Amino acid sequence: MTAVKLRKLCFRYAGSEKQALTNIDLTIEEGESVLITGPSGCGKSTLARVLMGLIPHSYPGELEGEAYVFDMDVKNTPVSRIATRCGIVFQNPDNQLFTFSVEDDVAFGPENLALPPDEIGRRVDEALRLVGIEHLRHSSPNNLSGGEQQKAAIASILSMKPSLLIFDEPTSMLDPSSSASLIERIFELKRSLDEAGGKTTVIIVEHRIDLLLKHLSRIIVISEGRVVLDGEPLRVLEESFRRGIPINIPPMLQIYFRVKDRCGLEKPPTTVRELICMLGGSVSRDG
Supply the minimum distance, in Å, between the C-beta of residue 41 and ligand ATP.
Answer: 4
Judged by CB under 6 A, the residue of 1, 41, 135, 192 near ligand ATP is: 41
How far is the C-alpha of 147 from the C-alpha of 165, rounded, in Å?
Answer: 18
The 50-89 site mask, x for binding ligand ATP (CB under 6 A), equals ---------x------------------------------
Contacts with Mg ion in 43-62 (CB under 5 A)? 45
Q: Pick one of Mg ion, ligand ATP, none as the site partner of residue 46 (Cβ within 5 to 8 A by kind).
A: ligand ATP
With CB under 5 to 8 Å by kind, the binding choice for 284 among Mg ion, ligand ATP, none is: none
Helices 146-158 + 102-112 axis angle, to 10: 20
For ligand ATP, give the closer residue by CB, 246 or 287: 246
Question: By C-beta, is 50 or 213 nearer to ligand ATP?
Answer: 50
CB of 21 to ligand ATP, least distance (A): 8
Nearer to Mg ion, 45 or 171 (CB): 45
> Residue 215 touches which of ligand ATP, Mg ion, none (CB < 5 to 8 A by kind)?
none
CB closer to Mg ion, 12 vs 123: 12
- Binds ligand ATP (CB under 6 A): choice among 34, 43, 53, 202: 43
Q: How far is the CB of 16 from ligand ATP (least distance, A)?
A: 5
171 binds Mg ion (CB under 5 A): no
Q: Which residues touch 16 (CB under 8 Å, ≥6 apart)?
A: 61
CB of 44 to ligand ATP, least distance (A): 4
Q: Could you give the CA distance from residue 118 to residue 13 in angstroms, rounded to a whole number?
A: 42
Q: Per CB under 5 A, does 150 bind Mg ion?
A: no
| Binding flag, residue 16, ligand ATP (CB under 6 A) | yes
Looking at the Cβ atoms of 44 and 161, the one nearer to ligand ATP is 44
What residues line the site for Mg ion (CB under 5 A)?
45
